[in-house]
């Protein structure tokens, strides 16, 4: 969860790379230079995924009347949160399909948003990285309860933190994207590349926050380590492995783990207020290497609609492994986190945020409904992420018993 405050040392808001399933701003964190707020302990137990909606009739037919209601709700969020452009896809078997784009992809030219645009997906990358890890579990090459120290040297508590705890955000390792020095370095030159080792160094200079498995705490550091595990075990670069063994295996044609700042056309321009001045800037070509295994990937609407079901139902994994993935621990009321995936009021998936872009890709098992929301800003509105506001407005209409809702976190300094 992100608390976006002004730092005395860095006149900027905190990066929100990893959008967390447990509140506004995902992943990243508090503010560079600000102390992390106290966290409430979460019992180290697993709970089953909430029962899916039993009858598909609980999901309405997407008639013209329902579409008009959705249009109105989406435009209302856009206006209130000052979102330049948004793309939405909602569907369920036998119920029809709703695909719409609103607003502009480029504020300077007025180019409209359209469903075919590529986008940066931020922390949705975590679903791909953890899928790669779980594939290696299925192949018997790693075990979820292996300590990270078996694969990566120099990790605090590395002899006791397991791969399962990293994937479930229960390691206790400090989130590197909350480090003040990282914030200064990134915002001073958003085009610079970062290596995984550089990112871990920002984390490891801080003491651990708690003992392994004692609490839930969303940290991008965890995914950097899992990316390194995949590389060590496979002997391949993470981008190469995921592009072949996850992206291609899932039949995705427009999804990419980039090496640097490349961003295939066509794409929307992305707008952020995460700058040294606090003024809105165009972040389209900022280098996402600082997110790497936690948030660097690119995709589009059609691929994410497919991925929503693939990741939620475990198409690429053995059933027992998928069952482990979907065991969630409580994070906030109505929300739980499994292994690189969340369950919010029955909607299974992940959200993503990094400067300029946000996304939400979720699946509701009962009616087999898929919802994808893509937008070209990450600027919060009254403490909530715009992607959450869109998800909430849409699900209130179509699944009132399963409203996607993440409690807002404090936002100050704007």
Concatenated DSSP letters of 104-173: BS-TTT-PBP-TT-EEE-GGGHHHHHHHHHHHHHHTTS--TTSBGGGTSTT-TTTTT-BHHHHHTT-S--
pLDDT for residue 57:
52
Q: Kindly state the tokens that stand for 150.
A: 């078996």
pLDDT in tens, 323-349: 999 999 988 788 999 999 999 999 999
What pLDDT, in 10s, does the model give residues 26-58?
333 222 222 233 333 344 334 444 444 444 458
DSSP H/E element including 332 = strand 329-332
For the segment 262-290, the average pLDDT, to the nearest whole number, is 97
Residues 55-79 pLDDT 10s: 445 899 999 999 999 999 999 999 9
Name, in order, each residue with C-beta under 8 angstroms of 390's C-beta and a sequence gap of 6 or more: 74, 77, 86, 88, 360, 373, 375
> How many H helices and E strands in the chain?
11, 12
Give me the pLDDT at residue 58, please: 83
Give the pLDDT confidence score for residue 408 in this predicted structure: 59
Tell the residue number behind the tokens 């979460």, with chain if given: 42
CA-to-CA dists, residue 170 to 34, 199, 220, angstroms: 22, 19, 12
Give the integer Cα–Cα distance in Å for 75 and 86: 9
241's tokens: 């492995």
Give the tens place of pLDDT for each residue, 213-264: 999 999 999 999 999 999 999 999 999 999 999 999 999 999 999 999 999 9
Angle formed by the axes of helices 220-234 and 125-138, nearest 10°: 40
């Amino acid at each position: 969860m992100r608390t976006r405050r002004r730092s005395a040392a860095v006149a900027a808001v905190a990066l929100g790379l990893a959008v967390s399933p447990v509140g506004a701003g995902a992943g990243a964190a508090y503010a560079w230079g600000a102390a992390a707020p106290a966290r409430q302990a979460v019992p180290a137990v697993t709970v089953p995924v909430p029962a899916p909606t039993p009858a598909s009739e609980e999901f309405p037919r997407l008639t013209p009347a329902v579409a008009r209601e959705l249009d109105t709700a989406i435009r209302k969020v856009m206006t209130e949160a000052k979102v330049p452009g948004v793309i939405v896809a909602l569907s369920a078997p036998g119920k029809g399909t709703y695909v719409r784009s609103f607003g502009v992809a480029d504020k300077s030219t007025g180019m409209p948003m359209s469903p075919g645009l590529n986008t940066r997906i931020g922390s949705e990358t975590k679903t791909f990285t953890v899928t790669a890890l779980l594939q290696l579990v299925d192949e018997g090459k790693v075990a979820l309860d292996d300590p990270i120290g078996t694969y990566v040297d120099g990790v605090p508590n590395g002899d006791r933190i397991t791969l399962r705890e990293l994937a479930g955000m229960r390691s206790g390792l400090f989130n590197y994207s909350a480090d003040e020095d990282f914030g200064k370095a990134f915002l001073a030159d958003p085009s610079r590349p970062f290596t995984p080792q550089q990112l871990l160094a920002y984390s490891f200079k801080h003491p651990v926050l708690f003992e392994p498995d004692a609490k839930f705490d969303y940290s991008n550091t965890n995914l950097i380590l899992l990316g390194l595990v995949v590389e060590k075990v496979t002997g391949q670069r993470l981008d190469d492995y995921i592009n072949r063994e996850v992206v291609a295996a899932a039949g995705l044609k427009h999804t990419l783990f980039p090496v640097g700042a490349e961003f295939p056309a066509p794409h929307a321009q992305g707008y952020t207020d995460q700058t040294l001045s606090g003024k809105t800037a165009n972040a389209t070509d900022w280098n996402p290497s600082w997110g790497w295994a936690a948030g660097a990937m690119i995709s589009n609407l059609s691929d994410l609609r497919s991925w929503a079901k693939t990741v939620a139902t475990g198409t690429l994994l053995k059933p027992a492994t998928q069952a482990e993935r979907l065991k969630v621990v409580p994070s906030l009321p109505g929300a739980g986190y499994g292994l690189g995936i969340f369950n919010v009021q029955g909607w299974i998936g992940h959200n993503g945020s990094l400067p300029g872009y946000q996304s939400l890709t979720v699946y509701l098992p009962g009616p087999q409904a898929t919802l994808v929301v893509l937008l070209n800003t990450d600027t919060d509105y009254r403490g909530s992420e715009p992607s959450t506001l869109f998800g909430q407005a849409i699900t209130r209409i179509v699944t009132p018993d399963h409203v996607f809702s993440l409690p807002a976190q404090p936002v100050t300094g704007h």
